[in-house]
Amino acid sequence: KERCVIQNSNPEDLRHPVQLGGTNSAVIDSSFYNIRQTVVRSENHCILVGQSTGPILVQNCYLEGYFGILIGGFSWTGTQQDVTIRQNHFFRLASWGNDSLQKHCVEGKSGVRVLVEQNVFDPNGTFSIGEVRFYFTEFDGSGSDSADWTIRYNKFRNNTNTISDAY
């Protein structure tokens, strides 16, 4: 996906507008607006990195949503590898208020060799209890790894929590 604009005009329906799987997948120079669900009340993500052996690239994107990027999870097996998240802007609208589903900008349920650099994380003052910019957890006890993450040269605005580990 390159130079895409995804605008959610119906917050009841859109859950994961882009799902990356396979090998050599990328989202570049794209914008995501209003990525949230207000009626169904389930987690949603601008980009979902699923069944993939990599490499995966997310670069120079505007990600406006309750969640930004989820790596792994759901019913996928294996570990996502060689993921690069670079030069993106993670944002939330102040008008969304303090909704309990506004959580993590980047969540890793399984990911090895993940690079997160030169991004801007700006929740615009809308925080949920327990919200963090990066959240690492094992998905289902199957031994899927979240390891070898490099997080560097990022800018954090309006931030109280940065990294959480739920192992």
pLDDT beyond 60 at 142: no
pLDDT (tens digit, 9 = 90+) per residue, 74-131?
Answer: 666 667 889 999 999 988 776 766 655 556 678 777 788 889 999 998 866 555 544 5
According to the model, what pLDDT value does residue 90 have?
A: 87
Please state the φ and ψ torsions of residue 21, each to the nearest 5 degrees.
-145, 175
Cβ atoms < 10 Å from Cβ of 152 = 8
| Confidence (pTM) | 0.82
Whether 37 and 46 have beta carbons less than 8 Å apart is answered as: no
Non-local (6+) Cβ contacts of 41 within 8 A are 101
Cβ atoms < 10 Å from Cβ of 47 = 29
According to the model, what pLDDT value does residue 130 have?
A: 43
According to the model, what pLDDT value does residue 65 have?
A: 82
According to the model, what pLDDT value does residue 102 have?
A: 55
* Residue 67 pLDDT level (bands cut at 50, 70, 90): confident
According to the model, what pLDDT value does residue 157 have?
A: 78
Whether 31 and 2 have beta carbons less than 8 Å apart is answered as: no
Within 13 A of 68's CA, how many CA atoms are on the CB side? 29
More confident residue, 142 or 85: 85
Residue with tokens 């994107």: 61
According to the model, what pLDDT value does residue 162 have?
A: 60
